[in-house]
Amino acid sequence: MTPSTSAGPREHRFSTGDWLEAAGRVEGQLLLHSPIEKPRWKARLAGSHTHAEFPGTAIAYRDEYYEVTAVQATADGRGVVYTLSPWDDRHLLRAPQTLDEAALVALAEEFSRDQRPVPSILWLPWYGALPAEDQLRRESDDGVPATHATIASSVVGLAVALPTAAAAVLLLVDPWTFGAEHPELGWIRRTCLVWFYLLIESLVRLLVSLALHRPLGTLPLVLLWGIPRAVRQHRDESIQRAENRTHRPPDASSLLQARDRLHPLPATADSPEALEILSPLPKPDWVLGHTLVRIEGSCYLPTDREVLGTGPAVRHRFRLEPVETLALARPPYEYTTSDPALRAREIVRRRRAHWVEPLPFVWGFLDEGHQQRLERVFGHDPLPATQLNYRVTSVFATLVATVTLARLVGAVHVFDVLLLAVALAFLVEAPRRRREHRRGRVRGSWFGHLLTPAAERLLARLEGPGPPGTRNTTGQNER
């Protein structure tokens, strides 16, 4: 939605209650009257004998850049007035805030979220049982720390499961004496696997939240929330693909081999020679007139952009004009024609990272080679993940072996024999994995062979030169 014009061309009003007018005192200066204080909008800090002047927040409005030079409360105390002055080119332009309808609505929503009261601490165990994605959303919306919620939920789970699991062990090991003295506890023996599972899961979640500072939900709720959500998302995506097959932009996964088209533009009477780039993806970090772009050793400034076409055939046209190398005041963006493939790879990497970052224990089963590949692409940390994995599996295998041996004393069941074999396999490999870890090396588990296809699928088409996230360490987003 575009801000409506009222009372003449020098005043603009927005649906959020903000209105903008020309200051009149200084040429080009604007006043933004706002009912709320804008998050991250800071005024200029004047210089003194002890420190230099620090510019205020940069504001982008109608292809012009301004600086917040003053912030004052209104006379009635119900609003704020921001003084926006033309940007001084002496200062480096960094991450300007956009001034338009959509940006003001987003700032108003963020302000409203910041004003919400923090939920009661009694709700922390419930929030901590939710999937990690929902916990992070709660942290963003309500200010509930996701890691603290996971810790609270894990502690409650341990408080419930520990005494119950201990009673179940006594009932299984000595059913004649302890069971005869406490016949009312027979239901614990029948549901012992549930309590052992709750105990192990609570321990794993507590270790993950304390060691890796990451939220981790409980598996039953993750499945209860995740399966319907995945079904709904798949259904909505299918409907969207069917309805907008010819209008939707290309998916990032289809652009992993894409390249830009680059060709020179000859000089004309009105404009100097330039370069034109046709790209399948937008480059939102390229600020017109400010982002320096280095192409084959020469530096350019983007001066114009345009969207051509719709749907999968959409192209983003950029016009870049050369600048003198000696005039560089900041590192340039290192550009190659494979730029869209690298951007698409980063988008796909962020999507798949949701399957890697919250599950270090699971990927700790893998061998050293696969964990190192996950580290290069997703930032997975092999050594802590392997240590957490063999410690938890050792504890779990010990409990399972103890319970199954106690059950086999009375009668032999095939299921118990299989559980005992799996537990012994984990216990046999644990000492060697521990020794390798102490030497600073990773040794996977036999169970990791079952997870290898899943790891290969996550890594598919994301490896190669220029790993995602590191392709432009010197000049990306220099604004």
pLDDT of the residue at 368: 93
* Together in a domain, 152 and 210: yes
Q: Which residue has the higher pLDDT, 425 or 413?
A: 425
In a domain, 345, yes or no: no
* Together in a domain, 8 and 106: yes
The alpha carbon of 302 is separated from its chain's Cα centroid by a whole number of angstroms, namely 29
Q: Write down the pTM of the prediction.
A: 0.49
Pairing of strands 333-334, 293-295: parallel
Distance CA 338, CA 107 (A): 35
* Together in a domain, 99 and 178: no
Give the highest mean pLDDT range of 9-13, 87-91, 177-181, 247-251.
87-91
- Average pLDDT (53-68) is 88
* Together in a domain, 139 and 221: yes
* Together in a domain, 314 and 362: no
In a domain, 458, yes or no: no
Q: Is 150 exposed, middle or buried (0-12, 13-18, 19+ CB in 10 A)?
A: buried
Q: What is the DSSP letter of 45?
A: B
Closest alpha carbon to 346 in 316, 318, 377, 317: 377
* Together in a domain, 218 and 133: yes
246, 281 in Cβ contact below 8 A?
Answer: no
CA atoms within 13 A on the CB side of 386: 31
Confidence of residue 327 (pLDDT cuts 50, 70, 90): low
Residue bearing tokens 């932009």: 249
The alpha carbon of 457 is separated from its chain's Cα centroid by a whole number of angstroms, namely 20
* Together in a domain, 110 and 15: yes
* Together in a domain, 28 and 109: yes
Distance CA 231, CA 125 (A): 27
Question: Does pLDDT of 472 surpass 50?
Answer: no
pLDDT of the residue at 193: 78
Average pLDDT, the chain: 81
Q: Which domain holds residue 296?
A: 252-337
Question: Does pLDDT of 429 surpass 90?
Answer: yes
In a domain, 349, yes or no: no
**Could you tell me the two tokens for 313?**
């055939």
In a domain, 373, yes or no: yes
Phi-psi region of 309 (alpha: psi -120 to 50; beta: other; left: phi over 0): left
Q: Among 115, 134, 151, give the residue marking a domain's end.
A: 115
Closest alpha carbon to 173 in 409, 429, 442: 409
* Together in a domain, 147 and 205: yes
Q: Using H for helix, E for strand and C for coil, what is the string for 186-207?
A: HHHHHCHHHHHHHHHHHHHHHH
Distance CA 187, CA 164 (A): 11
Distance CA 178, CA 263 (A): 84
Closest alpha carbon to 438 in 395, 393, 390, 379: 390
Phi-psi region of 24 (alpha: psi -120 to 50; beta: other; left: phi over 0): left
Distance CA 388, CA 359 (A): 11
In a domain, 342, yes or no: no
pLDDT of the residue at 470: 38
- Average pLDDT (126-150) is 80
Query: Rounded to a whole number, what is the distance in angstroms from the first to the last CA of the chain?
Result: 26
pLDDT of the residue at 126: 82
Confidence of residue 82 (pLDDT cuts 50, 70, 90): very high
* Together in a domain, 130 and 98: no
Q: How far is CA 372 from CA 60, 228, 301, in A?
A: 42, 33, 39
Distance CA 205, CA 361 (A): 10
Q: Among 208, 226, 244, give the residue marking a domain's end.
A: 226
- Residue 199's contacts (CB-CB under 8 Å, 6 or more residues apart) are 157, 158, 161, 162, 165, 399
Question: Does pLDDT of 97 surpass 60?
Answer: yes
- Average pLDDT (407-435) is 86
In a domain, 60, yes or no: yes
Domain count, the chain: 4
Distance CA 159, CA 291 (A): 56
